[in-house]
Amino acid sequence: MMMDMLTPGEQRLDYLIRALPANEKLYLWCYNRKGQLIAASNPDDLLPDLFVHLGAYDKMRAAADRVNTRPLLIGSAVGMQWVLIFQQARNRELMFVIGPVFYQQPDADTVRRVLLPVSSRPKEWIQSLLSHLDEMPVLSFSSFIRYAVMLHNALNNDQLGLDAFMSTDSGEKEITISPDEHRDLNQVYQAENILLTMVRTGDINYRRALQHSINISPGVPVHGKDPLRQAKTSLVVFTTLVSRAAMEGGLSPEIAYPLNNSYIQSIENCFDSGELSALASAMYHDFIYHVHHLHANPNYSQPIQRCCDYIELGLDKKLEISSLAALVGYSDYYLTEKFKKETGQSIHQYIKKARINRAKMLLLSTNQSIQQIADHLAFATPNYFIRCFREEEGVTPAQFRKQK
């Protein structure tokens, strides 16, 4: 690492990075709290550029604003993973990123298909990435997590175990799981059905439904003397269900089966429940985004598809046309006209319909009140939400929930 003065922790970290096996080479980058890249162990600009344009950089910046001390897993739509490590010395001024890695050998056609709709980079940049895919590190999930925790402990003179690992996709809130005998089986069925429906449709705004499902059910109830074996078996079953749902959503078996097998092998290689939790989140995210990019409307231009994705991820916030226009570099007027021409709907109509679809999911998968759902989806009032819902579905939210 190219720094004028290294703390003892940074010296240990630098030593460990150099000591890693050559066939399991991990790249290390150092950022300051402002998000500026200070040093990197790889000389190429491609990987930091990729870190930004796959959204991982924004996840790092968001995590820096929270009080984190544990390593964080950062995922991406193409299956690349990074780990973010915070330095506890120097008032947490520095952040270290390890990666990227793939859990299986990446397929160029799949990466191209995923990148083209979401990347703002020119096709020449994407082609450059594809030509370097064979050079990207491929590690098992288990090995990657172990290296990450080891490097965190070296940097911070800490003694964290694998159960302390976190994921930017699963959130920081501690999840409590109800015992089997207290589960409402009808509610469990509804929640799990919603999760699989989200995979089939490639619904990237899945996190609330996923957490709700985890809260009411730990998964397939498998009983035995070994709790870790039970958890592995449950996750293997869930992974298989998710991969089947992805194929029902249009994902090619040539992609789904190898991806499924890779995750199942990673599950079997886990030695800790903390690893399993992070792996479950990464697996679900991976399949969801594969299907999502298949469903991206081929008739939409890249800027309009980016707006649609932005809307889907921001249904709980107030969405302004000006924000969407700034996202794609258009004027408000030009974006409004272009959006309606390509989608057949105004931006406001598209947002309203997306919120109603989200409300239907919440009505079926949660016990939230009508007012809570209206508030969560940024409707001005519950009455306005009810009116909009009736216009789209022909029934009120309460009637919809009762019918289903």
Q: In tens digits, what is the pLDDT along the chain, a chain of 404 residues? A: 444 455 665 666 666 666 666 666 778 888 887 888 877 776 566 777 778 877 788 878 877 766 566 787 777 767 678 888 887 665 557 888 888 888 767 777 767 766 665 555 667 777 877 887 877 888 777 677 777 888 788 777 777 765 555 544 444 333 333 344 445 666 667 778 888 888 998 887 777 666 666 655 555 554 445 667 777 888 899 999 999 999 999 888 888 888 888 788 878 877 666 667 777 877 888 888 888 878 777 788 888 988 988 888 788 888 999 999 998 999 999 999 999 999 999 999 999 999 998 898 778 766 778 998 999 899 999 999 999 999 999 999 999 998 86
Q: Which domains does the chain have, with CATH numbers?
A: 8-167 (3.40.1840.10), 180-295 (no CATH), 302-403 (1.10.10.60)
CB neighbours of residue 289 within 10 Å: 19
End-to-end CA distance of the chain: 58
Query: 317, exposed or middle or buried, with CB in 10 Å at 0-12, 13-18, 19+?
Result: exposed
Query: Does residue 21 have a cis peptide bond before it, meaning omega lies within 30 degrees of 0?
Result: no
Beta carbons of 114 and 102 less than 8 angstroms apart: no
Which tokens is 120 given?
């703002």
At residue 272, the pLDDT reads: 61
At residue 243, the pLDDT reads: 95
From the list 138, 137, 169, 149, the residue with the least C-alpha distance to 280 is: 169
Beta carbons of 16 and 85 less than 8 angstroms apart: no
Q: Which helix H or strand E contains 85, and what residues bound it?
A: strand 81-86
Alpha helices by DSSP H, 321-369: 321-328, 332-343, 347-365
Q: Which amino acid is at 374?
A: A
Question: Which residues, including other chains, have CB under 8 Å from residue 181's CB and lie 6 or more apart?
Answer: none
Beta carbons of 321 and 336 less than 8 angstroms apart: yes
Which tokens is 92 given?
């947490």
Residue 174 DSSP symbol:
P
At residue 22, the pLDDT reads: 61
Q: Which amino acid is at 14?
A: D
Beta carbons of 156 and 9 less than 8 angstroms apart: yes
From the list 281, 338, 353, the residue with the least C-alpha distance to 306 is: 338
At residue 52, the pLDDT reads: 80
Which tokens is 60 given?
């790092």
From the list 176, 177, 276, 281, the residue with the least C-alpha distance to 229 is: 276
Q: How far apart are CA 305 and CA 338, in angstroms?
A: 12
Q: How far apart are CA 162 and CA 324, in angstroms?
A: 40
At residue 324, the pLDDT reads: 94
Q: How far apart are CA 13 and CA 91, in angstroms?
A: 18
Buried b (16+ CB within 10 A) or exposed e, 221-238: ebeeeeeeebbbbbbbeb
Question: Which residues, including other chains, have CB under 8 Å from residue 109's CB and lie 6 or more apart?
Answer: none
Beta carbons of 20 and 143 less than 8 angstroms apart: no
Q: Which helix H or strand E contains 145, and what residues bound it?
A: helix 141-156
Q: In what order do the strands lie in the sheet with 37-40?
A: 37-40, 28-32, 94-101, 81-86, 72-75, 166-167
From the list 96, 49, 95, 102, the residue with the least C-alpha distance to 75 is: 102
Which tokens is 320 given?
């302004």
